[in-house]
Amino acid sequence: MLDDVLAIPDHLRDALWRVESARLEPADAAGLMVCGMGGSAIGGDLAAAALGSQLTGPLITVRGYELPSWVTPEWTVLCSSYSGDTEETLACFDAAEALGARRIVASTGGALVDGAREAGLPVIGLPGILPAPRTAVAYMLICAAEVAAMAGIAPRIHTEIDAAATFLAERSGELQARAAEIAERLGQSTPVVLGADLTAPVARRWKTQINENAKCPAFFSELPEADHNEICGWSGESFSAILLEDADQHPRERRRFELTGEVIASAGATVLRLEAEGETRIARLLWTTMLGDLLSLKLAEAGGIDPLPVEAIEGFKAALAGGGE
């Protein structure tokens, strides 16, 4: 899995090629809805953050079985499932058909690709050699960003993505060293990752990667909302706060990070403040994403944990399939 994280720069370029190979036809839409779960859904969140104010229409991630009631046929729906057999995504695929919305699929195969082929829909083929959906984050991000451009709600940022890939490759050694330092500082504490604007979805990614790879609790939160509730709950040394900051954040958000860190530290918890690095918005988003992935593997290593198996998830899926609705 470490090799796959370090290969994110290559994944970004390969993903651009795979989208181009799918030969998607541009068609203006009212918005883009990315339907997926887990590692297959995070690409929609990251793409929306990377595009930021360049978006001219909504880009929304749906994690569940149904599309919102207000969606119209003028929307484009991207169904993302690495396996192609995610039941929630399959349900959204069918719901989009009933609605009459344009459908696009990103997957390696399974029932999702079978359904798309049967309906004559475009499929962005993902590489089937990755060990887990969570290692396909670069592919899911690029699929969402490129489809947003095809839907007419964002410009293409492929040149910035290519430059960001080079930047990440150059910083690979530094990122690994930084991840090791953070893991050492966290120790046995439970991390709470806080982000804002660009780094809000990255905070979610850090949380889920620590959950799946290190097999330990972790949580994420978003500023400024956390300052209106969560800040009251900090006490003791069992938790650590990781504050993901960005130079382009609103000045008041920058000030909130500073004060939030002080309040949490005064409660006795460890506070780590990190600022995203990179010249462009997409580079900074990818830098923090890759750092979080590497951190999760360092925490797994420190705990003697194999990051690949997810027995709890597989067991739950089996139980869900075994009975009831």
State which H helix or E strand residue 107 sits in.
Answer: strand 102-107
Other C-beta atoms within 10 Å of 274: how many?
18
Q: For residues 1 and 22, what is the distance between their CA atoms, to the nearest angstrom?
A: 27
In the residue annotation, 317 being an active-site residue is answered as: yes
Ramachandran category for residue 38: left, alpha or beta (phi over 0 → left; psi -120 to 50 → alpha): left
In the residue annotation, 277 being an active-site residue is answered as: no
In the residue annotation, 160 being an active-site residue is answered as: no
Helix axes 42-51 and 137-150, enclosed angle (nearest 10)? 60
Q: For residues 136 and 12, what is the distance between their CA atoms, to the nearest angstrom?
A: 10
* Structure tokens belonging to residue 243: 């504050």
Report whether 15 contacts 143 (CB < 8 A): yes
Q: For residues 177 and 175, what is the distance between their CA atoms, to the nearest angstrom?
A: 5
Identified catalytic residue from 25, 228, 311, 325 = 228
Q: For residues 241 and 206, what is the distance between their CA atoms, to the nearest angstrom?
A: 12
Residue 69 has phi, psi (to 5 degrees) of: -65, -20
Report whether 252 contacts 227 (CB < 8 A): no
Identified catalytic residue from 88, 146, 160, 212 = 212
Report whether 242 contacts 206 (CB < 8 A): yes
Task: Please list the active-site residues.
Answer: 212, 228, 317
